[in-house]
Amino acid sequence: MKVPFIDILRYEKGFLETTSAKACELLKNGHFVGGPIVGEFESAIKDYTKTSFALGCANGTDAIQLALRAVGVDKNDKVLIPDMTFWATFEAVVNVGAVPYTIDVSRETLHLTLASVKEGVEKFNPKAILLVHLYGWACPETLEIRNYCKEKNVLLIEDCAQAIGVKIKGESLLTNSFAATTSFYPAKVLGASGDAGGVFTTDKTVADTTKILINHGRTGHYDHGLIGWNSRLGAYEASFLVESLKHLDARLESRRSVCQQYREKIKNPALNFLSPSKDVWENGYLSVALMTPETRPAFIEYLKANDIGYGTVYPGAMSAQPGAKDHLGGKISHGHAEWIAKSIINLPCFAYMKQEEIDYVINKVNEFKA
């Protein structure tokens, strides 16, 4: 059997027919950029996340840049980011003219902690922090970090590219976030058929500013009150997302089942499967296990030999990336991000995996000899 790391083409019955028909309607009506369908999606995702404002944009990287600009991050401002994240988090800070400072994550949770945030704030005195929620989880100390940032008057933007559908204490991660972003890249749990992203906020001023920035800084058709850029959400992507959102809960249930079965049924001591903290309801974006750096290379070769896809999300710390050298303002490193990068392994996980595929992965992993 061959099991891919991800398969995004397992649509619900009738999904392709519905999305194709809606695409034809958009073409007939000349709705290519903007239009009613964008507003329909923004309203739908706002209701789903129970946030105050939701705005669609061109992609997830733009979403971070838009949020940074909208909350007031400007040229040469210091922004803290975790050393374990995707490159978009780092480059978004640089692209708005600010300076990224990396702080280490926990070996146990793979996320920032309140202690590490405090250490970064005390050492660097930043204007803002980008808190990244990885692996379909939420940072365990999200609520405490939000409160701390308010006390210290530090702007908090939350990168939720992997966290749509995640809840903390039964409430959507996005509901009370001052400013948050996501990606609707096709491989995400809620994916478009191409690039798309979103900005969420509880603050009307941030929402109004974001809306202006998305569309060339427009305050009128030929009036430009800000330097923005072209990050409009396309009508077709919005239409695709409207239909995908209708199936999101079923897709998340399927993904969570895969992750839980791995945790319960894989007994190989070479893998240490991680779980979200007790107050966090995951979305099943990724299965996450840690191995010793010495064992992982052999395990990867074993997976390849048995036609099992895998991921290493992520295989390098931000501060160690070649592109970071000329832009990194400073860092706090305890070696955790580098160790995680050499130790993490992600097994196949996607919506509507067949039980025989799940069982095949479980059996083969259990048979691996370190």
Q: What is the mean pLDDT of residues 212-229?
A: 96
Number of domains in the chain: 2
Query: pLDDT by residue (tens digit) across 32-69?
Result: 988 899 999 999 999 999 999 999 999 999 999 999 99
Instruction: For the chain, state the CA radius of gyration.
Output: 21
Residue 3 belongs to some domain of the structure: no
Place of tokens 């077709």: 236
Provide the mean pLDDT of the chain: 97
Residue 4 belongs to some domain of the structure: no
Share of the chain above pLDDT 70, in %: 100
- Same domain? 333 vs 359: yes
Residue 262 belongs to some domain of the structure: yes
Residue 6 belongs to some domain of the structure: no
- Same domain? 264 vs 299: yes
pLDDT of residue 107: 97
CATH code for the domain in which residue 255 is found: 3.90.1150.10
pLDDT of residue 34: 86
pTM, whole model, 2 decimals? Answer: 0.97
Q: What is the mean pLDDT of residues 295-322?
A: 98
CATH code for the domain in which residue 44 is found: 3.40.640.10
Residue 156 has pLDDT above 90, yes or no: yes
- Same domain? 135 vs 267: no
Indicate the residue among 216, 246, 276 that finishes a domain.
Answer: 246
- Same domain? 327 vs 233: no
Indicate the residue among 200, 217, 246 that finishes a domain.
Answer: 246
- Same domain? 351 vs 330: yes
> Residues 6 or more apart from 353 whose CB is under 8 A from it?
3, 7, 254, 258
Share of the chain above pLDDT 90, in %: 99
Indicate the residue among 246, 274, 295 that finishes a domain.
Answer: 246
Residue 16 has pLDDT above 90, yes or no: yes
> Residues 6 or more apart from 204 whose CB is under 8 A from it?
52, 53
- Same domain? 86 vs 195: yes
- Same domain? 58 vs 190: yes
Residue 347 belongs to some domain of the structure: yes
Residue 1 belongs to some domain of the structure: no
- Same domain? 241 vs 254: no
Angle at 281 between CA 175 and CA 207, to 5 degrees: 20
Q: Which residue range(s) make up the domain with 30? A: 15-246
pLDDT of residue 206: 98
- Same domain? 77 vs 196: yes
- Same domain? 297 vs 238: no
Residue 360 belongs to some domain of the structure: yes
Q: Which residues pair with 290 in a beta bridge?
A: 272, 344
Residue 170 belongs to some domain of the structure: yes
- Same domain? 129 vs 19: yes
Q: What is the mean pLDDT of residues 189-211?
A: 98
Residue 27 has pLDDT above 90, yes or no: yes
Q: What is the mean pLDDT of residues 65-90?
A: 98
- Same domain? 239 vs 257: no
